[in-house]
Amino acid sequence: MPPVSHPFLKGSLIIFMNYNDHNPPHVHVKYQNDHSSYRIVIKTRKWLKSKKKLPSKLRKLVEAWVEVHEQHLLEQWAKAQNKDNISIVG
């Protein structure tokens, strides 16, 4: 899935999905020039373990975005697992 990017004054927030990734269905989040990848489970909005935490305000923003786009993200995950055509989240 092409990344969804949101510009901020201090950098950017990028949300993306790696196809052929492990379960549970989740998206990856990158912020600014941080090389860490934060991961959030789509259905539960629980964060998977990472070496450090995304700032609280950004975590809430990502959780809200995932909630709004949950159905489409899960459809994209299912299509990727079935190797079907994949569309872009808009």
pTM confidence score: 0.77
Averages of pLDDT over runs of 10 residues in the chain (90 residues) are 55 82 92 84 95 89 94 90 59
The predicted pLDDT at position 10 comes to 58
CB 60 within 8 A of CB 66: no
Q: Can you tell me the distance from the alpha carbon of 65 to that of 67, in angstroms, rounded to the nearest whole number?
A: 5
Q: Helix (H, G, I), strand (E, B), or coil: what is residue 38?
A: strand
Cis peptide before 24 (omega within 30 of 0): yes
